[in-house]
Structure 1
Amino acid sequence: MNIKFFGATGEVTGSCYLIQVNHKNILLECGMLQGSKNHERHNSDPFPFDVAQLDAVIVSHAHLDHTGRLPMLIKEGYHGKIYTHNATADLCEIMLVDSGYIHEKEARWENKKRERKGLALIEPLYTTEEATRTLQYFQGLNYDKELEICSGVKLTLRDAGHIVGSAIVELMLTENGESKKIVFSGDLGHKNAPILRDPFQVKHADLVIMESTYGDRLHRSWQDTWQEMGEIIAHAKSSKGNILIPAFTVGRTQELLYEFIQHFEEWQLGDWQIFLDSPMGIKATKVYAKHSEVYDEKAVDVEKNHKGIFDLPNLHMSETTEYSMKINQINSGAIIIAGSGMCTGGRIKHHFKHNIWRKNAHVIIVGFQARGTLGRSLVDGTENINLWGEKVQVNAKVHTIGGFSAHADQQGLLDWYQGFENKPPVVLVHGEEEAMSVLAEKLKHQCQANVVQASYKQNIII
């Protein structure tokens, strides 16, 4: 038995691990590299293993850094099953097809430039059709149900609390009469986050593969986060402007809508028009609404007392371009939630064009903003932004609320590991080197854990 690490080693994207047991090859995650253009070009590299030899594929959740190369796997000839939670299968139907559309669009733009220069044309990483074809190979599962996916490999998914359908992956591996239990954390959720349950606590493992995204920091409390949100909304109301919220379409958007219901009276939200201006965000919200079986107790109660956990009386779902353009005719009293979460594209940029130069407008940043993104420049206090070649002055008040995260922080990761009763060895993945190193030291000294920081192509005997 062994596991090879082909992604998310010293970085947070491109998750990909190959487990070999009993002459079977199990691929765990098939994620896309995200970040700089130089980084992303490696998505077209050949897989570092023989696709024809794969017996099964497992993905922990729908984010593209865990699923984004699945269509390429199918293109290369894999026609076996892709095991995941039912809600993840539903989200992948949205996210992989959208990813294919983006790759096609980027290839068209690049080829226009190449044609003018007389250069060879390029093919998209994969198309919407290829992404759609991938969906037929998904087999959706429920939490806590053991399934033998091939000889010597039993799979159980546990709730990770990260996004809807996210899973901790338990694998019971048997070879030559010996059995070992491998537990892969996937992306662990932020404790007490809205809607979803806290991550399931596994009690025993022979090896733990654990994410380390925020291994070097602590999150602000949820109470302080919601208090600040309420104060910003009250201030914006007094200044009679619009509120713009760039939000990730899966997870963050749904958390906001849910909390708007919780604080509807307190924040006097009935005085606003609320818009979800994101076709993909609307589809993802429908998936969240469909899978109430994964809600925490509070969300279950909210669903019973309302028509649904997102059923705001003044919420307008904006799917069409025409509807989105009409929103920009509103100068006051609108709360607009739109993608993209880092302001790198999508409809939020159009709303910036019509609002960000207004002194009574407000921008609320509710997610991580990577270096080099428009969102990061706003967080850093830029006075001007460039929108489609036009310089636009930033007069709006920009608020950054730091308590939002779909990932466990350092203490959450330590608490989850300490829930194991036998202190199993740990392999850290899915974290930048500094965060990973800090968490490794904490695990060694506070938990007396045997810790390895995974490196690319490292092979660990189980």
Structure 2
Amino acid sequence: MRITFHGAARQVTGSAHLLEIGPYRLLLDCGLFDSDRIDPDSPNRKLPFDPRSLDAVIVSHAHNDHIGRLPFLVKQGYDGPFYCTSATADVTGVMLRDSARIQREDVRNAATSHPHLEHVDPLFDLLHVEWVVERMRRLPYGEPTEIVPGVALTLHEAGHILGSAIVQLDYREGGRDRRFVFTGDLGRRNTSLLPDPAVVKDIDILVSESTYGNRELDPYERLMKQLHAIIARATRLRGKVVIPAFSLGRTQRMVYCLQELFAVHKARPIPIYVDSPLANRLTDIHRDHPDAYTPHAREIMDKDPLYFGSRYVEYCQSFEDSRRLNYLNGPMVIISSSGMCEAGRIRHHLRHVVADPENAVVIVSYQAEGTLGRQISEGVERIQILDRWYDLNAAVYVLDGFSGHADRNDLAAWYEQTGGGIEHGFLVHGEPESMEALAPLLQPHVKTPVRIPEVHESFEV
């Protein structure tokens, strides 16, 4: 096998790994880089391989850093299948259609503010998205499927978001059976909503994510106690709690955690408002897959007529619904996107709460450097929201343990359970410091030195 890392190499975004097994070429994911998609020189607009030469594309899960360039593959000539779980197929259609809409808006804005970019086309359009959706092949967890002659694909539960999968490929090479495994993005253990990541044994070649390879996050029990205290404070002060959350995964997780808080931990219920049109559509898909959740989660959510919904949860559909929240008194929780506070309705809500010390902002995900969310999490005195400056007087709580990514302890435990004996190990999808901190935890289970590849670097394994 020859493997080439065309993305997420010494960085988090742009996941794309090309496998060559005999005469066949398989691509694992094709995600967006954290780069301006309108810029003609953006890495998002450059494919270092011929999409027409691919025999199959395998999709680990539906976050944009893993699926964001799939329609661009089609635009550039790929006409083969996309293999993924059923839930990932459902979510991918929603995510990519939303991405196409945003790109059209970006192109229109660029033509106005940057005349030299007026002839730039979107990275892809809705037609290319529909071709991706049409060519998706839905596979259940745990069932091997021959995707090219002599190569069997098995998807396993990754516990990261709905439908996320660990990718296992079994094939025969050099007269012996071999097994390749790509973790995709692994979830945390014991988080109540989704099952723990499945364990895969007898691995010959492992490509592992490393997002939080240098971090130990709070366990779920401690996070729930902290959340309980925040809700109790809001009840006592009649304040508002604003939670910036990504529309896919984090919003649904936080709604469930609050449901669990009310049902199991006996916190006094307060109204929860979810204000994100995209999150609303994605939550509908989450309701279509009740078998994806743990028995404990199903027991809690089965008590209500609608998963991720109860008499305490209201989903805002229109902008008028969103604006109405400004005039309601607390206590209440508002969950809104975007997760890093750079766009979407969350900025509208922050403008109305950050100056009041009786309110709170709860950060539940990674905040990239330079974002408004990062400034809030660092507790600066004043922040600029849109065109105005505001004093940051609201209480700020950083509970990034609610992340969907495994921390270094979760990753170490998963490596331990594989049984070791791995011939080759690679770390991707992380900042260099995370990879370097994680490598010593993986190394005892790998016979050869663990590698941290550069972008476009190739290996014969």
TM-score (norm 1): 0.94
Name the SS of the counterpart of 1:452 in structure 2. Answer: coil
Change beyond 3 A, Cα 1:450–1:391:
same
Query: Following the alignment from structure 1 to structure 2, what is the Cα–Cα distance between the partners of residues 128 and 370?
Result: 29
- Counterpart check, 1:57 vs 2:57: yes
Distance 1:112 1:36, change over 3 A: closer
Superposed, which structure 2 residues align to 1:113-152 within 5 Å? Answer: 113-115=113-115, 120-152=118-150
Are the aligned partners of 1:85 and 1:167 in contact in 2 as well (CA < 8 Å)? yes
Q: Could you list the per-position Cα deviations for residues 10-58 of structure 1 after superposition, in whole angstroms to 9, with x for gaps in the alignment? A: 0111111111113111111101102678999524432111111111000
Provide the rounded CA distance (Å) in 2 between the counterparts of 1:77 and 1:288. Answer: 32
Alignment CA distance shift 1:219-1:268 (3 Å): closer
Post-superposition CA distance 1:374-431 (Å, at most 9, x none): 0110111122222221222222222212322111111111111121224202111111
Aligned counterpart, 2:95: 95
CA–CA distance in structure 2, aligned partners of residues 41 and 365 of structure 1: 33
One-letter amino acid matched to 1:45: R
Map of 2:192 onto structure 1: 194
Q: For the residues of structure 1 that align with 2:452 and 2:289, how far apart are their CA atoms?
A: 35
The 1-side partners of 2:241 and 2:448 are apart by 47
Correspondence 1:77-226 to 2 at 5 A: 77-115=77-115, 120-175=118-173, 177-226=175-224
CA contact (8 A) 1:104 1:126 kept: no
Structure 2: tracts of 5 or more residues without a match = none
Which letter does structure 1 place at the counterpart of 2:103?
H
Structure 1's 15 and 440: CA in aligned 2 closer, same or farther, altered over 3 A? Answer: same
What CA distance in whole angstroms lies between the structure 1 residues aligned with 2:25 and 2:375? 44
Partner of 2:272: 274
**CA offset at residue 303 of structure 1?**
3.9
Partner of residue 25, structure 2: 25
Residue 99 of structure 1 contacts residue 128 of structure 1 at CA under 8 Å; is this kept in 2?
no
How do 1:22-421 and structure 2 match up within 5 A?
Answer: 22-34=22-34, 42-115=42-115, 120-175=118-173, 177-264=175-262, 266=265, 268-270=267-269, 272-421=270-419
Alpha-carbon distance in 1 for matches of 2:80, 2:17: 17
CA apart distance, 1:92 = 0.5
Equivalent-residue separation in structure 2 for 1:19 and 1:142 (angstroms)? 22
Report if the CA contact (8 A) 1:33-1:40 is conserved: no
Q: Distance in 2 between matches of 1:40 and 1:302?
A: 49
How far residue 437 of structure 1 moved from its aligned partner, in angstroms, is 1.0
Shift of 1:73: 0.2
State the Cα distance separating 1:359 from its structure 2 match.
Answer: 2.8
Q: How many residues align?
A: 459
Give 3-state SS (helix, strand or coil) of 1:139's partner. Answer: strand
Alpha-carbon separation, structure 1, partners of 2:40 and 2:232: 41
SS in 2 for 1:453: coil
Q: Give the CA deviation at 1:284.
A: 1.5
The alpha carbon displacement at 1:308 in A equals 4.3
- CA shift for structure 1 position 300: 2.9
2:420/2:445 contact within 8 Å kept? no
Distance 2:287 2:202 in 1: 33
Could you tell me how far apart the structure 1 residues matched to 2:409 and 2:334 are? 33
Query: What are the ranges of 5 or more consecutive residues in structure 1 without an aligned counterpart?
Result: none
Deviation at 1:363, TM superposition (A): 1.1
For residue 194 of structure 1, report the CA deviation from its aligned partner. Answer: 3.0
CA contact (8 A) 1:98 1:128 kept: no
Alpha-carbon distance in 2 for matches of 1:324, 1:120? 34
Deviation per residue, 1:320-375 (Å, 9 max, x gap): 11211112221322211100111111111111122222232211111111110101
SS at match of 2:190: coil
Q: What RMSD in Å do the two structures reach over aligned CA positions?
A: 2.1
Q: Which amino acid aligns with 2:28?
A: L
Distance 1:44 1:427 in 2: 23
The question of whether the paired residues in 2 share the 8 Å contact of 1:225 and 1:402 is answered with no
TM-score (norm 2): 0.94
Give the counterpart letter for 1:140 in structure 2: R
Distance 2:288 2:323 in 1: 29
Instruction: Give how far 1:445 is off.
Output: 5.2
Partner of 2:4: 4
Paired-residue identity, %: 37
Q: Distance in 2 between matches of 1:418 and 1:308?
A: 39
Query: For residues 40 and 310 of structure 2, what CA distance do their matches in structure 1 show?
Result: 39
Distance 1:240 1:414 in 2: 42
The aligned counterpart of 2:432 is 433
- Which amino acid is 1:203 matched to? K
CA contact 1:194–1:255 (8 Å) conserved in 2: no
Give the CA deviation at 1:177.
Answer: 4.7
